[in-house]
Chains A and B, each alone.
Chain A
C-alpha cells in the first residue's frame, strides 16, 4: 500500500519569495509521482509529473519538483512566487505497475501575500 504525507498544511509567503512545498511518500513498490494544483472553487489540474528518467521535472509556469528515491520525497519548489500561485497543492502517487487508485496527500494551501 502507498501513503503520501504533505508536511505543511499551510504555507504563507510574500510575493517574489521562493517557496518549497514538501511531500514524502511510502510505498513497497516503485511509484509514479504527481503534483496537482487546485485554484479556488475549481477542480484539480495536473501541475507536473515524474514517470521515469530525469529526476528533476518542471512545469510551464516555473514550478519544479525533484524525485529523491533514497529520501522518498518529491518536494515542489518555485524560485519566485506570484499572487496568482495562491492555491492548494496536492502531491499524489500511483504504483508504476499500473492500477487505478491514485493516493493523494492532504494538500498544502499556499497563500501568496503582496
Chain B
C-alpha cells in the first residue's frame, strides 16, 4: 500500500495564479483532510471531508476550495494565490466509521511558495 500520496512535492506560484493540490489514499478510509503547517503554529485544518460526497470548512478555509472526487481522492484548489498561502500542505485520511474518528494518516506534504 502507498498510503496517502500527494502531488506535487514542490510548487512555486506567482501571486494571483491558481493551482490544485492532489491527494489520494488507498486504505479505503472514509474521511480525508487538508492541513497547512506554518512554523510555530502546528497544523491548522483547512477543509475536511467526513465521507464521500461531503466537505466542510475547517479553521482556515478562506482562499481555498476542495473537491472530494471519489472515496480515494480529495483535492485542494487555490483560485488566486497570495503570499500568505506560502506553507507546507498536508493531506491526511482516517477510518472515520460510524461517526467515530481516531488517528490520521498523513501524506508527505507539498511545499508551496507564492511570490
Interface residues, chain A, with chain B CB atoms under 8 Å away: 4, 9, 32, 34, 36, 41-46, 49, 51, 90, 94, 98-102, 104-107
Contacts and interface: CB of A to CB of B under 8 A. Distances in A.
A43 B109 contact: yes
Given A100-B96, A106-B41, A42 B101 contact: no
Contacts, number: 60
Interface size class, chain B? 20 to 34
B108 A42 contact: yes
Interface of B: 4, 31, 33, 40-45, 48, 50, 56, 58-59, 90, 92, 94, 96, 99-109
Contacts of B103: 34, 46, 49
Contact of B31 (A9, A34, A100): A100
Given A44-B90, A100-B31, A100-B50, A51 B42 contact: no
Contacts of A94: 101-102
Contacts of B106: 36, 43-45
B42 A32 contact: no
Given A46-B105, A100-B50, A104-B43, 20 more contacts: A9-B40, A32-B102, A42-B108, A42-B109, A43-B108, A44-B43, A44-B104, A51-B102, A90-B42, A98-B100, A98-B101, A100-B48, A100-B56, A100-B94, A102-B45, A102-B101, A102-B104, A104-B44, A106-B40, A107-B42
